[in-house]
Amino acid sequence: MSMKMIIAPTDFSEVSVNAVNYAADMAMALHAQLVIMHVNEYIYAYSEAGIIDALIDENTDERLDGLEAQLLKRTANKLSIKKILSVGRLEKELSKLSETITPFAIVMGTHDELNTVNRFFLDSRSLNTAKKLRCPVMIIPNHKTWNKIASIAYACDLKDAESIPAKEIKYVQDAFGSVLHVVHISKDSNFNSEDVINTTLLPAGLMVNKTDFHIIEHDDVVKGIEAFADEFKIDLVILQPKEYGFFQNLFHISQSKRMILHPWMPIMVLH
């Protein structure tokens, strides 16, 4: 079996380096290789001055080397690391790389409303790119450090069993050795759990080992997920952007502050 690979893009900011550190610790736990990637999105502004381009490249190489040295020290030289320097748009370069190496996940940090993560998921072009990626994207809140992922919540709407990425979810669950909680947040208290399990979750292949199903009645989807995560000590929430309205509701700028920037809740987006 080939080694898992984890991609961690960085712009060398404190937030992105924190996500890289998280990815490094996760790679150690999964016996995976870490790919640290920097994309020069601004280099074209200097395209007519070759000497400036060269200086930018040299400086970036040095910063990548420094980050690699820091990660090797952090992991006692036990982590396998690959460095990639690209030029272009971050989302396009990530998409090309993920198609080439099929990583276990892309791990990204968050800044604020105008950050890369929000641009990556919210503008129409980037949203389309995100949906086309064939690997999970993990979004790590600032200052969040790695802890064993013992409990995962998959938040779903239960409308279409065939669209549930059961294989991908179970792959992530098995990789971490986690308990999986399938969670549906609804304003309607008339859902029958047994019916849902028999008609939707069993056909989808989700109700296998170490898996529980929960229906949570709440007027607010995000608050409902947060309350559930608190109560069940969830380490990772999995979301699936299969429906534009549901996804946009969760990742609207005002909602992203409440969810993506939550200090204890890493999020994995499946595509």
- The low-confidence residues of the chain, meaning pLDDT below 70, are 1, 42-58, 111-133, 158-162, 188-208, 241-264
Alpha helices in the chain (DSSP H): 14-30, 50-74, 90-101, 116-122, 124-132, 166-176, 193-196, 202-204, 221-231, 244-251, 253-258
Largest Cα span, the chain: 68
> Long-range CB contacts (< 8 A, 24+ apart) of 62-69?
63/12, 63/38, 64/36, 64/38, 67/10, 67/12, 67/17, 67/20, 67/36, 68/36
What is the Cα–Cα distance from 32 to 97, expressed in whole angstroms?
16
What local confidence, expressed as pLDDT, does residue 70 receive?
97
Strands 137-140 and 236-239: unpaired
What local confidence, expressed as pLDDT, does residue 59 receive?
83
What local confidence, expressed as pLDDT, does residue 209 receive?
74
CA 117 to chain centre: 10
What is the Cα–Cα distance from 45 to 49, expressed in whole angstroms?
9
- C-alpha distances (whole Å) from 83 to each of 8, 38, 188, 258 are 10, 8, 49, 33
What local confidence, expressed as pLDDT, does residue 241 receive?
66
| All structural domains of the chain | 5-140 (3.40.50.620), 151-266 (3.40.50.620)
Q: Going by C-beta distance under 8 Å and a sequence separation of 6 or more, which residues neighbour residue 80?
A: 3, 27, 32, 33, 34
Q: Going by C-beta distance under 8 Å and a sequence separation of 6 or more, which residues neighbour residue 138?
A: 23, 105, 106, 107, 108, 236, 266, 267, 268, 269
What is the Cα–Cα distance from 26 to 234, expressed in whole angstroms?
16
**Model confidence over 39-63: pLDDT tens digits?**
887 544 445 555 555 445 668 889 9
What single letter denotes the amino acid at residue 170?
K
**Model confidence over 135-188: pLDDT tens digits?**
888 888 888 899 999 999 998 776 666 677 888 999 999 999 999 998 887 776
What local confidence, expressed as pLDDT, does residue 254 receive?
46
pTM, two decimals, is: 0.83
